[in-house]
Structure 1
Amino acid sequence: MKTHFIAIGGSAMHNLAIALKDKGYQVTGSDDAIFEPSKSRLEKKGILPQEMGWFPEKITQDIDAVILGMHAHQDNPELAKAKELGLKIYSYPEFLYEQSKNKTRVVIAGSHGKTTITSMILHVLNFHQKDVDFMVGAQLEGFDCMVKLTQDNDFMVLEGDEYLSSPIDLRSKFLLYQPNIALMSGIAWDHINVFKTFDDYIEQFRKFVASITAGGVLVYNEEDPEVVKVVENAENYFRKIPYKTPEYEINNGKVYLKTEMGDVPLSVFGAHNLLNLEGARHICRQLGIMDEDFYEAIMSFKGASKRLEKVEREDKGTLYKDFAHAPSKVKAAVKAFVEQFKNEKKYGFLELHTYSSLNPVFLEQYDHAMDGLDEAIVFYSEDALKIKRMEPISPEFIKEKFKNENLKVFTNAEDLHAYWNTLDKANGVYLMMSSGNFGGLDLTK
């Protein structure tokens, strides 16, 4: 099968390209910019475009599938040529469904926790050498690629994202998967640039539940009232399995899960991670993994990349980075950090740089998000606001929305870095929350 990727360099897209190359497909692609690690990984597989840009002449009649990434625009010249030739054009999730339509599809959805839950499931399956196809949004220890596609595997585990499918397909990605087994971890308004109201956002999850195949299974977080409402109001038939935070305790900085089989030591911490773990356990049950085997495997799970991930520092200081930027994720990460390090001085840094996080209306969602930290710091770039053509935001406004008068607010990277350099990293513990890099801050030094 011959496939061509328009915008091959994206995090998700390049992993799918590699998976198809490994499956034996003929793969080509284009992009106007490709960064690391995508560049090296594509080059290693021999599918890195020789030059950057869009080349309509690459689009030929013999291409079986054109896969369109979100990074491309509607007026992309390669897309125009593909339409002109009448080629089959897929979005990323649409093509994944095409590859898995004859398999049992397991889809993990939710505003927060879906990457971690998917990672936990794959870690357990890998530990017990149970081979499945998959797609996950983070690099996992023990896995070379974030996407795996085979002819023979019976199951496919998919991280279900509610964001848009492609520039020409504005459906939420997870609506294309039609799960046989699904999980919903939580609902908290996100992607305000696309879903203008909370109800618009919730509607995607209503549609997701409605897309579960007849007689399927939904594992859901019964502690989230929005999730419960969506599940209770669903009109289609499926089996409902609720889950909640399990009992646990912290002894000498180590988390122990309380089970019928005794205390299980874990390598992750935080109530939200224990809740994620419980969801993963129920999904693994559906895949034939007994609880005893689940606990045996989960003890060695160290977390998904950039999800409360410990950073090895030259000075041996204690620092964790987290992809958290949406309010619900920030609150969960801070709560976990405060609980885990009760007797240490706790520093929490948050970078606001997404469209949603810099929106004055959305900023209301961050109230008390940094409470419990000894030092709370928020950084956002005034230049980023100009680039996004957004109105200026004052530090006082940020403090007001976070409801934290002691909040330190920095609006340029130089001032933030100067403050960072005054801190003795060997004393205290540090939580760095961002999907960016704090203006180029080196967290290892």
Structure 2
Amino acid sequence: MKSKKYHFIAIGGAVMHNLALSMVEKGYEVSGSDDEIYEPSLTRLQKAGILPKEKGWFPEKISHDIDGIILGMHARQENPELIRAQELGIPVYSFPEFIYNQSKDKKRIVISGSHGKTSITAIILHVLKNEGVDFDYLVGAQIEGFDLMVRLSDAPIIIIEGDEYLTSPLDRRPKFFHYKHDILLMSGIAWDHFNVFPTFENYTEQFEKLVEMTPSTGTFIYCEKDAIVKRFGETCEIEGVNLIPYNSHPNRIEDGKTILLDGDQEVPIHIFGDHNLQNLQGALYICEQIGISPQKFYTHIQTFKGAAKRQEILAKSDSGIMFRDFAHAPSKLKATVEAVKNQFPERKLIAVQELHTYSSLNKDFVSNYSGTFEMADEAIIYLNPKAVSLKKLKLMDEETLRDGFQRKDLKLFTEIALLKEYLENQTYIHTNLLLMSSGNYDDMDLTVLKEKINQKL
């Protein structure tokens, strides 16, 4: 039988190119287009033989022999390839619609929330893989031990990181509405995507609707430490639904290491911080729903190092650690700063935040960051004027940021060379450095910093 043929509009995106690669692996015929493709997408698509020959959009690529179009969020409604596909009556799928289409007959487990989604999903994937369970998945970051961010096979279950961001240029609903979950986990709600959800009430409403989509035979696992999520769980009126609240896993900290407490059993782990201990507890309950015993979970969690760019250690000595973290929204920043300081209370903490997203760069949103740097000994903000300009926003000054963050000694850098010089001139004795961003600090060279921290004894 002839394999099905799919064309990707905006194939270069992080998740889009991973889906394309997973479909090649499954035996589909795949083509695609994009106006910009960066690393690592470029090399990976090239290696798989599906890198577009030229950048841009080419309606002549769209013909009747294509079984479906997969439309990326980066494409616009007036995209010439999309218009051509619509003229020819070729089915157009958004990314989440296609994932659902491929997993209709599976048990669908969706991990949702403003924070912790990737970490919870990564923990579950790590445990299931080590236990030898056959499963499919969709995760929002590259996970150690997994070549792709997407797997579609004949496995009976799929673990999906459920993003609340918009589905596609044609569908302005959150992605997670499309997955039609059997089991739903919700970690917590803190206002994000200010450009899409202009009020907190509007943002919260999306999660409430998601809970209401839980089938009567389904399960809702919710973090009761978050007041809004707790309310969703406690007021859920879906008859027959299995409601499971969770909190931070019992633990203690000893010499900068976190140890899980389970009765008389003590389980040392690599990850730390209250949010991660909530994430871990939620992941444990998901695994139990799949048939993994707590004992097996504790065995496998000991080798979990964390998701990429989540409290990732870039340099380390007996005297200091350099962390990189994906934190960008206020709740994530606060949780990460507190986690590092609580883990190493005797060390000075230099916390640096690159404001990179539309929300974080908007002066009308910045007050949401109030108190997020509270536990840092030194608080630094990096703003790239070019990133601000591209988002058609006005560059905030130091005083505006100090008011927003409620931190009078906050330092602002708008040139990466000056920030690099400042950080390299610090003394990292009994000091941790935390770099937080969903961006990349303009590819700042960290070589000198790493050497400086690694050499301290």
Q: TM-score range by the shorter chain?
A: over 0.9
What CA distance in whole angstroms lies between the structure 1 residues aligned with 2:439 and 2:431?
A: 23
Whether 2:192 is the aligned partner of 1:190: answer yes
Give, in angstroms, the shift of residue 375 of structure 1. Answer: 1.3
Give, in angstroms, the shift of residue 246 of structure 1. Answer: 1.9
Letter of the structure 2 residue corresponding to residue 224 of structure 1? D
1:254-293 CA distances to partner (integer Å, 9 max, x unpaired)? Answer: 1101112511000111111011000000000000000000
Give, in angstroms, the shift of residue 355 of structure 1. Answer: 0.6
Could you tell me which residue of structure 2 aligns to residue 434 of structure 1?
437
What CA distance in whole angstroms lies between the structure 1 residues aligned with 2:141 and 2:371?
A: 28
Whether 2:357 is the aligned partner of 1:354: answer yes
CA contact (8 A) 1:315 1:426 kept: no
Could you tell me which residue of structure 2 aligns to residue 8 of structure 1?
11
CA contact (8 A) 1:133 1:156 kept: yes
CA contact (8 A) 1:345 1:374 kept: yes
CA contact (8 A) 2:315 2:323 kept: no
What CA distance in whole angstroms lies between the structure 2 residues aligned with 1:315 and 1:342?
A: 14
Give 3-state SS (helix, strand or coil) of 1:320's partner. strand
1:240-251, aligned counterparts within 5 Å?
240-251=243-254
CA contact (8 A) 2:367 2:403 kept: no
Aligned with residue 321 of structure 1, among 321, 324, 329: 324
Letter of the structure 1 residue corresponding to residue 245 of structure 2? P
Could you tell me which residue of structure 2 aligns to residue 239 of structure 1?
242
Whether 2:407 is the aligned partner of 1:413: answer no
| Range 407-416 or range 176-185, more displaced | 407-416
Give 3-state SS (helix, strand or coil) of 1:73's partner. coil
CA contact (8 A) 2:124 2:287 kept: yes
Distance 1:439 1:314, change over 3 A: farther
Could you tell me which residue of structure 2 aligns to residue 20 of structure 1?
23
| Range 13-22 or range 413-422, more displaced | 413-422
Could you tell me which residue of structure 2 aligns to residue 163 of structure 1?
165
Could you tell me which residue of structure 2 aligns to residue 339 of structure 1?
342
Distance 1:392 1:141, change over 3 A: closer
| Two-structure CA RMSD over aligned residues (Å) | 1.5
| Range 248-257 or range 326-335, more displaced | 248-257
Letter of the structure 2 residue corresponding to residue 280 of structure 1? A
CA contact (8 A) 1:311 1:444 kept: no
1:8-407, aligned counterparts within 5 Å?
8-150=11-153, 152-237=154-239, 238-312=241-315, 318-407=321-410
Give 3-state SS (helix, strand or coil) of 1:350's partner. strand
Distance 1:312 1:136, change over 3 A: same
Distance 1:21 1:315, change over 3 A: farther
Give 3-state SS (helix, strand or coil) of 1:301's partner. coil
Letter of the structure 1 residue corresponding to residue 172 of structure 2? L
Give, in angstroms, the shift of residue 313 of structure 1. Answer: 7.0
Give 3-state SS (helix, strand or coil) of 1:429's partner. strand
What CA distance in whole angstroms lies between the structure 2 residues aligned with 1:162 and 1:130?
A: 28
Give, in angstroms, the shift of residue 443 of structure 1. Answer: 2.8
TM-score, normalised to structure 2, is 0.94
Give 3-state SS (helix, strand or coil) of 2:308's partner. coil
Give, in angstroms, the shift of residue 175 of structure 1. Answer: 0.3
What CA distance in whole angstroms lies between the structure 2 residues aligned with 1:261 and 1:125?
A: 25
Could you tell me which residue of structure 1 aligns to residue 454 of structure 2?
none
Give 3-state SS (helix, strand or coil) of 1:171's partner. strand
1:56-113 CA distances to partner (integer Å, 9 max, x unpaired)? Answer: 0111111111000011111100000000001100000000000001110000000000
- The number of residue pairs the alignment matches comes to 444
Gaps of 5+ in 2: 449-457
Give, in angstroms, the shift of residue 315 of structure 1. Answer: 12
1:134-182 CA distances to partner (integer Å, 9 max, x unpaired)? Answer: 00011111111110001x2110100000000101111100000010011
Letter of the structure 2 residue corresponding to residue 113 of structure 1? G
Give, in angstroms, the shift of residue 196 of structure 1. Answer: 0.4
CA contact (8 A) 1:120 1:298 kept: yes
Q: Percent identity?
A: 50
Gaps of 5+ in 1: none
Distance 1:293 1:314, change over 3 A: closer
Give 3-state SS (helix, strand or coil) of 2:392's partner. coil
CA contact (8 A) 2:346 2:430 kept: no
Give, in angstroms, the shift of residue 218 of structure 1. Answer: 0.7
Letter of the structure 1 residue corresponding to residue 257 of structure 2? K
What CA distance in whole angstroms lies between the structure 1 residues aligned with 2:178 and 2:132?
A: 29
CA contact (8 A) 1:315 1:425 kept: no
What CA distance in whole angstroms lies between the structure 1 residues aligned with 2:317 and 2:387?
A: 31
| Range 287-296 or range 407-416, more displaced | 407-416
Give, in angstroms, the shift of residue 252 of structure 1. Answer: 1.2
CA contact (8 A) 2:12 2:41 kept: yes
What CA distance in whole angstroms lies between the structure 1 residues aligned with 2:247 and 2:285?
A: 11
Give 3-state SS (helix, strand or coil) of 1:311's partner. strand
Give 3-state SS (helix, strand or coil) of 2:442's partner. coil
Give, in angstroms, the shift of residue 392 of structure 1. Answer: 3.3
What CA distance in whole angstroms lies between the structure 2 residues aligned with 1:158 and 1:322?
A: 22
CA contact (8 A) 1:6 1:72 kept: yes
What CA distance in whole angstroms lies between the structure 1 residues aligned with 2:270 and 2:395?
A: 42
1:331-375 CA distances to partner (integer Å, 9 max, x unpaired)? Answer: 000010100111112110001121100122211111111112221
What CA distance in whole angstroms lies between the structure 2 residues aligned with 1:28 and 1:317?
A: 47
1:189-233 CA distances to partner (integer Å, 9 max, x unpaired)? Answer: 000000000011011101111222231001100110011222334
